[in-house]
Amino acid sequence: MATAPSAFKPIAEISPDVASWVASVAAATLPDRIHWCDGSPAETARLRNELIARKELAPLNEKTFPDCHIAYSHPSDVARVEHLTFICSKNKEDAGPNNNWMDPAEAHAKMDALYRGCMKGRTLYVVPYCMGPIDSPYSRCGVEITDSAYVVLNMGIMTRMGRQALERIAAEGGKFVRGLHSIGELDPNRRFIMHFPEELSIQSFGSGYGGNALLGKKCHALRIASYQARTEGWLAEHMLIVGLKNPQGELHYVACAFPSACGKTNLAMLIPPASMPGWEVFTVGDDICWLQIGPDGRLWAINPESGYFGVAPGTSPKTNKNAFDMIRKDTLFTNVALTASNEPWWEGIGAGEPSTDWQRRPYDPKNGPAAHPNARFTVSAVHNPAYTKEAENPKGVPISALVFGGRRREIAPLVYEARDWQHGVLVGASVASETTAAATGAVGVVRRDSMAMKPFCGYNFGDYFQHWLNIGAKLKQPPKIFHVNWFRQGQDGKFLWPGFGDNLRVLEWMLDRVAGRAGAQETAIGNLPRPSDLNLDGLDIAPAVVEELLSVKQDAWRKEVADIRNYLGEYGARTPQAMYAELDSVEKRLG
């Protein structure tokens, strides 16, 4: 998409629509200064220095972690807050039981009161950004107004931020998502993350953390975008996008939806096991995927983001060497621990020991883990050794398979294939997973998380399931749909499947199914590989464990089906009948 270069125009004059909105926000919030972000390296350096001077950011060991910094969020502000996140559609029904709802007028009154004068003594940053390649027709732009320099630094890594984005906004006639953010006093009792899908706007107050504050990410690219996507005929999903090239040179892209902290970043940059030589892996995205129906009737995907906001704990050279290597320079760490030599440390890193914990206290195991379980790194995608230029392709990449998955100690087998798109939509809608530290609240509780979008769909899930069915009906070559579970546990509480790089064995079976080469056995819930259909060469795993991983327990699944039926019932008349038809046939096959 051509954008008129205006290098000589003062940045505040590029888009009159943005400028007038900024003026109205400034009149309400009363900042001392207004700074328009141009996205330049000089700007990044200046912001870093300001934060360092205020002791809100600190450089790490310059020799071993050049240009890396650590930031700490408030100890009560370390994760997304689903109970304080609202969809403010005109009709409550349109938000659906999957969301908290507030009347837009009530929400605006509440937020206006919170924002009044909230930026006194602070700088108001104007952050223009583009979600997706700057020249892609599939990309969408937004502007985040924030009083947090930490947010600006993150947005600079996670999005195409600055002058170019503003130029695109101006070229598109001033159509952009308006995101207003203030950290307020970081008081959990004065914290709200409000979404107004019909107004294409977001208002966030009282949190400086991740998905609550980096408004381009979950708020725009999922909650607002999912709403927009429904009206425009595409899909905005919580999916990684990865390219897999087999030793014969065949390249396929797959997109996988797993809930928060359930393995997307890891799968997106996996390293093939030594016993699978010749495979190559290319990361297109690790968290969000926008899917469009291409001119050829296939699904095409872009990653709207340009960086990774990844879970630090568990990242090691053994589990995810690409990620480990990627975060050794130019990386912003949040809520990790530090070693005595000023290097970042977290549980599962596999070396070193913590000296200071994530609350800057001398490390004491009595205080719990050294790094917060939801500690994160922010890093540009180009630092990933598995980065591919295809992440910049304005057309996106064609998708051969969609994969749903959850974190389930029991019931869900290692992998199964849906019979067709419609059955696949039921499989996606039925995803259940144990809650993780990515959101505040209890961890390890199994809940339904349809398409891994429970916290992120900006409208009623019943309508969302129908939208998925509608997309399928329009596809000439729909991708195959699968379900995976890397997290089955044995009696001893240990994971049965080695996971990480070995997950490629499961992906290989999927791609062979796509190519029509791999065998499977039909079961009541879908098609499963027999142990002999999986490439287990060089893997030290007992045959009984493989049997267990690939078993479908009829009794447990009968209960599961009943539970799914209840769940679909929560969406009342909005649940498509086709979903019940699919569920009925699973039930019949279970006998």
Interaction site with ligand GTP (CB under 6 A) = 258, 260-266, 286-287, 310-311, 313-314, 319, 438, 486-487, 495, 499-500, 503
The least CB distance from residue 533 to ligand SPV, in Å, is: 32
Min dist. Cβ of residue 238 to Mn ion (A):
6
Q: Which is nearer to ligand SPV, 432 or 546 (CB)?
A: 432
- In the DSSP assignment, the letter for residue 408 is -
Nearer to ligand SPV, 276 or 457 (CB): 457
Residue 211, contacted partner among Mn ion, ligand GTP, ligand SPV, none, CB below 5-8 A by kind: ligand SPV
262 labelled catalytic: yes
Select from ligand GTP, Mn ion, ligand SPV, none the partner in contact with residue 210, using the beta carbon and a kind-dependent cut-off of 5 to 8 Å: ligand SPV
Q: Report the alpha-carbon distance of residue 265 to residue 249 in Å, rounded.
A: 24
Rounded distance between C-alpha atoms, residue 138 and residue 499, angstroms? 33
- Contacted by 262, from ligand SPV, Mn ion, ligand GTP, none: CB < 5 to 8 Å by type: ligand GTP
CB closer to ligand GTP, 138 vs 346: 346
In this structure, the strands spanning 69-71 and 85-87 are: unpaired
Give least dist CB 197 to Mn ion, A: 20
Stretch that binds Mn ion, among 24-32, 257-265, 320-328, 519-527 (CB under 5 A): 257-265
Residue 258 contact, options ligand SPV, ligand GTP, Mn ion, none, Cβ 5-8 Å cut-off depending on partner type? ligand GTP
Name the H helices within 280-384: 321-326
Residue 211 or 462 with smaller CB distance to ligand SPV: 211
Q: What pairing do the DSSP bridges indicate for beta strands 289-293 and 235-237?
A: antiparallel
Q: Does 43 bind Mn ion (CB under 5 A)?
A: no
Reduced to 3 states (helix: H, G, I; strand: E, B; else coil), residue 361 is coil
The site partner of 217 among ligand GTP, Mn ion, ligand SPV, none (C-beta below 5 to 8 Å per kind) is ligand SPV
d(CA 212, CA 438): 11
Picked from Mn ion, ligand SPV, ligand GTP, none, the partner binding residue 80 (CB below 5 to 8 A depending on kind) is ligand SPV
Paired strand residues for 131: 140
Whether the CB-CB separation of 364 and 370 falls below 8 Å is answered with: no
**By Cβ distance, which residue is nearest to Mn ion?**
287
Nearest partner of 277 among 251, 245, 252, judged by Cα? 245
CB count in 10 Å sphere of residue 117: 10
Binding window for Mn ion (CB under 5 A); candidates: 229-237, 283-291, 418-426, 573-581? 283-291
Kindly state whether residue 237 participates in binding Mn ion, applying the rule CB under 5 A.
Answer: no
Q: Which residues of 219-245 are buried (b: 16+ CB within 10 A; e: fewer)?
A: bbbbbbbbbbbbeeebbbbbbbbbbbe
Shortest separation between residue 239's beta carbon and ligand SPV, angstroms:
11
Given the complex with ligand GTP, which of 463 and 502 has the nearer CB atom? 502
Least distance between ligand GTP and beta carbon 312 (Å): 8
Q: Which is nearer to ligand GTP, 103 or 347 (CB)?
A: 347
Q: Which does 191 bind (CB under 5 to 8 A by kind): ligand GTP, ligand SPV, Mn ion, none?
A: none
Distance, in Å, from the CA atom of 118 to the CA atom of 121, rounded to the nearest integer, reads 9
Question: Which one of 164-172, 227-235, 255-263, 516-524 is the stretch in contact with Mn ion (CB under 5 A)?
Answer: 255-263
Residues 287-306 that bind Mn ion (CB under 5 A): 287
Q: Do 420 and 555 meet the contact criterion of CB atoms below 8 Å apart?
A: no
- Among all residues, whose Cβ is closest to ligand SPV? 211
Contact status, residue 432 vs residue 406, Cβ threshold 8 Å: yes
Helix (H) or strand (E) holding 546: helix 543-549
Write out the H or E segment, with its range, that includes residue 26: helix 16-29
Q: Are 395 and 388 in contact (CB under 8 A)?
A: no
Residue with Cβ nearer ligand GTP (507 or 568): 507
- Beta-bridged to residue 527, according to DSSP, are 417, 522
- Residue whose CB is less far from ligand GTP, 322 or 339: 322
Strand residues in 74-219 grouped as ranges (E)? 85-87, 100-101, 123-131, 140-146, 160-161, 177-182, 192-196, 201-205
136 binds, among ligand GTP, Mn ion, ligand SPV, none (CB under 5 to 8 A by kind): none
User: Which DSSP string corresponds to 256-287?
Assistant: EE--TTSSHHHHHT----TTSTT-EEEEEESS
Single out the catalytic residue among 88, 141, 262, 289.
Answer: 262
392 binds Mn ion (CB under 5 A): no
Tell me the closest approach of the beta carbon of residue 183 to ligand GTP, in angstroms: 21
Q: How far is the CB of 344 from ligand SPV (least distance, A)?
A: 18
Are 489 and 495 within 8 A, CB to CB? yes
Nearer to ligand GTP, 255 or 262 (CB): 262
Smallest gap, in angstroms, from Cβ of residue 88 to ligand GTP? Answer: 24
* Interface contacts to ligand SPV, rule CB under 6 A: 80, 210-211, 217-218, 260, 287, 309, 438
Round to whole Å and give the CA distance between 317 and 393: 30
Q: How far is the CB of 210 from ligand GTP (least distance, A)?
A: 9
Amino acid at 96: G
- How far, in Å, are 250, 508, 509, 514, 520 from residue 517 at the CA level? 13, 11, 9, 8, 10
Q: How far apart are CA 458 and CA 200, in angstroms?
A: 11
Asked if residue 357 binds Mn ion (CB under 5 A), the reply is: no
User: Quick one: 154 or 201, whose CB is closer to ligand SPV?
Assistant: 154
By a kind-dependent CB cut-off of 5 to 8 A, residue 206 interacts, out of Mn ion, ligand SPV, ligand GTP, none, with none
Minimum Å gap between C-beta 270 and ligand GTP is 9
Residue 499 binding partner per list ligand SPV, ligand GTP, Mn ion, none, with a CB distance cut-off of 5 to 8 Å that depends on partner kind: ligand GTP
User: Considering CB distances under 5 to 8 angstroms, the limit depending on partner class, which of ligand GTP, ligand SPV, Mn ion, none binds residue 465?
Assistant: none
Rounded to whole angstroms, the Cα distance separating 132 from 138 reads 7
Alpha helices, H only, 223-374: 225-232, 264-268, 321-326
Neighbours of 344 (CB within 10 A): 27
The least CB distance from residue 222 to ligand SPV, in Å, is 9
Q: For ligand GTP, which is the closer residue by CB, 425 or 438?
A: 438
Q: Give the distance from CA 571 to its chain's centroid.
A: 24
CA pair distance 522, 62, nearest whole angstrom? 56
Say whether 101 sits in a helix, a strand or coil. strand
Q: Which residues bind Mn ion (CB under 5 A)?
A: 260, 287
Positions marked catalytic:
262
